[in-house]
Amino acid sequence: MTGWKRWAVALVVITTGAAAIVLASRTPAGLDSAAKVGALIAGLVPLALALILWARRSPLPLPAVSSPDQVDAAQRQLADLVLAQWRAEIVVRQLDDPAPVAVRWRLTELDTSGPAGHVARPRPLRYLIGRGVPRFEGRTDRVDDMATAFRRLPARRLVILGDPGMGKTTLAVLLLRELLVRPEGVEPVPVLLSMSGWDPGAETLHTWVARRLTEGYPALRAADFGPNASRALVEQRRILPVLDGLDELPERIRSTVLDRLNAAAEDSLILTCRTTEYEQTLAHQGRRGLTGAAIIEPDRLKAADAATYLERSLPRSTVDRWATLLTALREDQSSLISRALSSPLTLWLVRKVYLEANAGPAELCDTNRFATVDAITEHLLDHLVDALITANPPQQEADEEHPFGPRKSWDPTDAKKWLAFLAHHLEVIGSRDLAWWQLSLAVSRRTRSLIRLGLGTVVVTAALFAALFVFGFDFAVVFAPFIGLVFVLVSGSTSEEPVYADLRLRGRIRLLSRKLVTWPVIRAGLVIGLVVGVVFGLADRSLGASVVGLAFGPVFSLVVGLVEWAKTPLTNEGPQTPTVTFHRDLRLLYLYSLACGFAFGPVLGCAFGLVFASMAGFGGKLVAVLVFGSVFGSVIGFTYGLGQASGQHLVTVVVLRARGRVPLRLLKFLDDTHRLGILRAAGPVYQFRHAKLQDRLAQSYATRTRQDGAARGSSRRTRHHT
């Protein structure tokens, strides 16, 4: 808090205290009551500020480095987590069903000896005699051979180029799994990281990779691995970054990214990028390529290989329906349909749109209907969502062959409309990563603030009426400025990124006991207890009141330790997924509400009890005082929690649902579309299965928006003329 905001808060605090004292001086108890109220307000406002500043504080200081044994243990655990994560994702993406597409990869030579403006074509003679660059070739369906070739690279640096839809990410994922399944000694752990969102001007490669490790694999923050396991793994080169999507970064920073990667020339890595974007990056100001890297590109699929792949996927009962397409592929390698099905993407689309829908694809061979390759691809993309949802109804019981089937039935028309909006949203923010916490960017900050303000107004009004009913007019008038100040402070706090929180007790009891007795936690309780004790003593002018106030210190310490415990993961915590990330952050919202209720309830009850102990019949209202304080604290905590990423997401979904843009249970919908294969998971974010699918859906959203606007304009003109 800086500048005018400090002065604004100070002015509100002073005005609140002065108003409370003036109002209290008009009561029968006169200035004595005013002194009590003034002391109370003077203490409660710092208490509220202390609670808020504590919630927004930096993490507690920790020892500087993890020990070698801790780093070794972290590396082993990370390897297990990454392997389990991508084994499951490969099943969801059906990359092994029935087998990976047999894409042939060949080595190209990038001239890194000077300014490079192009990727040179292969030189078979140089490969044959072993001069120049190392030999590297293989097929996606024989990824074990490609893993062996990668290990033989002197620097173990590989660039995977290719046109859209040629299987660059698929190869990277399968290589990652192969390196983990069959390690040779102690090797760096391959970790796939989407490059979208990396700002090389703000973070070095090591800093960015360490941060992404911490975000995607919270187990690395476990106390058993020490304070900086992620950073140590990166700096000691125990991580093999698999950097997916250089082309997804803005053109203006791609060359800077290559500079950062070349600055870490001793680091092994795998990089994927579209060929055109890579060549453009090298051509920019005569940039060099990736130092020490082998660069591979795919050959287009042969029509006969495409026919063989499709035929192996067909049940016997459907072979006749596919005869026309299979014959066309085998008889004419240069036909339109042969050229259209020369990429893994279009083969996958044909399988999903026709095979899973139990339909025949003969219409694709109709050149009158489909005059270009793009026309065939766009037709497949347009029918993908409908085909997948229709062909994969939710299962009542777990299906052993398809354990990741959808859990709910969705209307294909609605689903396509919602996905089109999400694709448009990603296009607007310039990202391929569908992060649930960034969906709030689709709603203006003003709208979100107005919603929170409206909710807060309702809450504050309800609290004031409750205070008026329980304690009377004088108390309500004094209480109004205080609750208003607290609400303004908490409602202005927001968190852009999700936060980890785990409230499970099983296996975490010992960790909880350690967190409750740490010196920073005890120190926070002592400070708060001292402040409250002094305030209570001044308000009641008795030693007993000071003791009551001091007793609040351990209560506050308990709350501090509880939140610190919730934010600390165990070593067996799994990788972050979109749904797990959301629920972890949402638990922190719940915890803030409960913790603030637990903290505010006793202190407000005791404090206001001391000030208003002379009220007639107050003894009978003690329970009401405690309940009121607890409810008030919980509401304040909940209001603060709405500033969490999960709270903002919930508000955003309600707004977008009212506009018909997304379903109310958005994350369940995204989880099902991931299970269906429309989306893919990349750590805590989703991505559309392919960039072409995202672009096509975004285009359909723009077209529908223009049509709706034209229809509304026509309707208004019609009403005007009538």
* Residue, of 650 and 419, whose pLDDT is higher: 419
One-letter amino acid identity for 56?
R
CA nearest neighbour of 278 among 141, 163, 181: 163
Q: Has residue 4 got a pLDDT over 80?
A: no
* pLDDT at site 529: 66
Q: How confident is the model at residue 648 (pLDDT cuts 50, 70, 90)?
A: confident
CA nearest neighbour of 376 among 325, 427, 420, 331: 325
Q: What is the mean pLDDT of the chain?
A: 78
Query: Could you give the domains of the chain?
Result: 69-298 (3.40.50), 303-342+357-391 (no CATH)
Pairing of strands 685-688, 679-682: antiparallel
Separation of alpha carbons 290 and 297, rounded Å: 15
- Tell me which H or E stretch contains 171: helix 168-181
Name every residue whose Cβ is closer than 8 Å to that of residue 417 and which is 6 or more positions away in sequence.
660, 704
Q: How confident is the model at residue 162 (pLDDT cuts 50, 70, 90)?
A: very high
Summarised one tens digit per residue, pLDDT across range 194-214 is 998 899 989 999 999 999 999
Q: What is the DSSP string of 275-312?
A: HHHHHHHHHGGG----TT-EEEEEPPPPHHHHHHHHHH
Summarised one tens digit per residue, pLDDT across range 584-612 is 888 877 877 777 776 666 665 665 555 55
- Tell me which H or E stretch contains 158: strand 157-162
Summarised one tens digit per residue, pLDDT across range 433-474 is 999 999 988 988 778 777 767 776 776 677 677 667 766 665
